[in-house]
Structure formats: structure tokens, C-alpha cells
């Protein structure tokens, strides 16, 4: 598991528009909210994405970019964004490599069946590329507001 004050694991993956997005795109300029969710267009994931979208302008005013990550394809992400008019980028970690690097690909038990799935988790990465906060196993409802409060409390030098 990753912890506060660690250097954020590097990544470069495609977004909903088939464009490469890398951690280095933001280093030195923006804070990042990198949030991992199980699947596009499912109830909890839709709540989370919509709430991040509703607060996007406030995050932007705090020099913060929101990136959602799942193992869905770029096309699935594009459809999800269009359906709900989302104002955030979604990254397609189809290989699962990014999920592995951030420690969110986990075994889970549901109705007696054990399987692998993305543990809903969020990482706040400051402008220097350092993990400012880690939240594993989050609940979607109200999470975006909680993350916004944490961003507001980042040291001003970050």
C-alpha cells in the first residue's frame, strides 16, 4: 500500500480521447486527484464521477486536476462522459498496470465468490509529484467534497 509523503508512482495511459496522459504532464504545475473506481456507468461510480464533475470548477480554482481511473476502454469512458456530461478526464488502465502500481487491484469476496477488483481509492498528488494523501476503500457518496476539503488544506507551497 502506498502512503503519504511517498513519490507517486509514474504513469502514462490513454484517456477517453485516446490521448496519452502522464504524471509528468502535471508535475510542477498542478495537484492531481487520481481516483480509482471499479466500472463505468455503475451506480456508485456514477455518483462519484457526477460529484467530482459538480465540484470540478472548485478543484480547478485550486490548481487541481481530477483523473478517474478504471480498467474500462477509452470508448467506454467516452460514452460514460457523454451520457452524464462529465467534466473530468477518465484514464483507461486496460492492462491493469496502473492499478497494480497504486495497490488498488485487490481480492474481494462478494456473495461468497472471491474475485479480483479495483478497490475504490483516491490519491492526492501535490505539484511536486508527492502523495499528499491516500484514501483506500472509500464510499462514493460525498467523497468528492471530502477530497476538495483535503485539497484546500494542502500546504500552499504544494
Of 34, 45, 91, 104, which one is the catalytic site residue?
45
Give the per-residue pLDDT at 1. Answer: 86
Whether residue 6 is contained in a domain is answered as: no
The mean per-residue pLDDT over the stretch 92-105 comes to 96
CATH number, domain at 128?
Answer: 3.40.30.10
Give the per-residue pLDDT at 157. Answer: 54
Whether residue 4 is contained in a domain is answered as: no
Cell of 96: 491493469
Residues whose CB is less than 8 angstroms from the CB of residue 126 and which lie 6 or more positions away in sequence, other chains included: 31, 132, 154, 158
Q: How far apart are CA 13 and CA 92, in angstroms?
A: 7
pLDDT in tens, 123-134: 999 999 999 999
Total domains in the fold of the chain: 1
Q: Which residue has the higher pLDDT, 156 or 81?
A: 81
Q: What is the largest CA-CA distance in the chain?
A: 47
The mean per-residue pLDDT over the stretch 130-145 comes to 96
Q: How far apart are CA 94 and CA 150, in angstroms?
A: 29
Whether residue 56 is contained in a domain is answered as: yes
Whether residue 128 is contained in a domain is answered as: yes
Q: How far apart are CA 70 and CA 49, in angstroms?
A: 12
Give the per-residue pLDDT at 158. Answer: 42
Whether residue 143 is contained in a domain is answered as: yes
Residue-range definition of the domain harbouring residue 67: 12-152
Predicted TM-score (pTM) of this structure? 0.95
Whether residue 33 is contained in a domain is answered as: yes
Whether residue 98 is contained in a domain is answered as: yes
Whether residue 5 is contained in a domain is answered as: no
Active site residue 99: no
pLDDT in tens, 3-36: 999 999 999 999 999 999 999 999 999 999 999 9
Q: How far apart are CA 113 and CA 100, in angstroms?
A: 21
The mean per-residue pLDDT over the stretch 40-57 comes to 97
Percent of the chain with pLDDT over 70: 99
Amino acid at each position: 500500500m502506498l502512503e503519504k509523503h511517498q513519490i507517486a508512482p509514474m504513469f502514462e495511459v490513454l484517456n477517453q480521447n485516446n490521448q496519452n496522459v502522464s504524471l509528468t504532464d502535471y508535475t510542477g504545475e498542478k495537484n492531481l486527484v487520481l481516483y480509482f473506481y471499479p466500472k463505468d456507468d455503475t451506480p456508485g461510480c456514477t455518483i462519484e464521477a457526477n460529484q467530482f464533475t459538480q465540484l470540478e470548477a472548485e478543484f480547478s480554482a485550486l490548481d487541481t486536476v481530477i483523473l478517474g481511473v478504471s480498467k474500462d476502454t477509452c470508448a467506454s469512458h467516452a460514452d460514460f462522459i457523454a451520457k452524464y456530461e462529465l467534466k473530468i478526464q477518465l484514464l483507461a488502465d486496460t492492462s491493469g498496470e496502473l492499478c497494480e502500481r497504486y495497490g488498488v487491484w485487490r481480492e474481494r469476496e462478494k456473495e461468497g465468490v472471491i474475485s479480483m477488483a479495483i478497490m475504490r481509492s483516491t490519491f492526492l498528488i501535490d505539484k511536486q509529484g508527492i502523495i499528499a494523501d491516500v484514501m483506500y476503500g472509500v464510499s462514493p457518496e460525498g467523497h468528492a467534497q471530502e477530497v476538495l476539503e483535503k485539497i484546500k488544506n494542502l500546504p500552499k507551497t504544494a
